[in-house]
Amino acid sequence: LLPGRSDLGNWGGSHNHELIRDGQRLFLIMVMRNASIAQIGSPRQLYDAPANHFVADFIGEANLIPCEVIDVSNEMAKIDVRGFVHKLPANGRSAGPATLAVRPSRLDIKAKAGIKATVRKATYVGNRMEYSLHIGGLDVFAVHDDVNNPLSIDEEIHLGLFETGPVLLPAL
């Protein structure tokens, strides 16, 4: 199935890219960029842990937010995003400039502390609200299920990061 791929462990495969492990069927997706493999993984792996900017943007929507890695200890990075300090897996990064890839649903628009943001647009789409938020010179996209208490245009908020979801990538 994937010649030369020894990192797949104890997997068996068939011609249709269906993998069998422990009696369960799993499907892998190979994301290609410029005739090279950008990342191989399950749909969930590609969405939750993109390996690079291309995969983050290609598989679903992602906010790519510049940040600074302040320190790395025990494979955890301490980052600064416009004055907001947060810890997350280092993902191979060391101190210096980096990019935080965050899915719109993984931004906490009701946080008590976080990145200072201004609501630029609020759109009701039936089962959720979609927001365009401005943080410094950058616009980000967020979604929230609370359609009964929407944020107001020009409202100043703290934009938090949920514990799972944000991924640290190399600087743009």
Residue 66: the pLDDT is: 97
With bands split at pLDDT 50, 70 and 90, how would you rate the model's confidence at 11? very low
Q: Give pLDDT, residue 165.
A: 86
| Mean of pLDDT values over 97-123 | 97
Q: Is the pLDDT of residue 1 over 60?
A: no
Q: Which of 38-47, 112-121, 128-137 has the lowest mean pLDDT?
A: 38-47
Average pLDDT over residues 105-122: 96
pLDDT at 23: 59
Mean pLDDT of the residues in the chain: 88
In the 8-state DSSP scheme, what is residue 56?
H
Chain centroid to Cα 113, Å, comes to: 20
Is 127 exposed, middle or buried (CB count within 10 Å of its CB: 0-12, 13-18, 19+)? exposed
Beta-bridge mates of residue 108: 160
pTM value is 0.81
State the Cα–Cα distance between residues 10 and 142, nearest whole angstrom. 39
Q: Which two tokens stand for residue 40?
A: 């191989």
> Which residue spans within the chain are E strands per DSSP?
12-13, 18-21, 24-27, 29-33, 36-41, 63-73, 76-81, 84-89, 96-102, 107-111, 115-124, 129-135, 138-144, 156-161, 167-170
Local structure of 6: helix, strand or coil: helix
Contact 58, 70 (CB under 8 A): no
**Helical segments of the chain, H only:** 43-48, 53-58
Chain segment 45-77, per-residue pLDDT in tens: 999 999 999 999 998 899 999 999 999 999 999
Q: Is the pLDDT of residue 7 over 80?
A: no
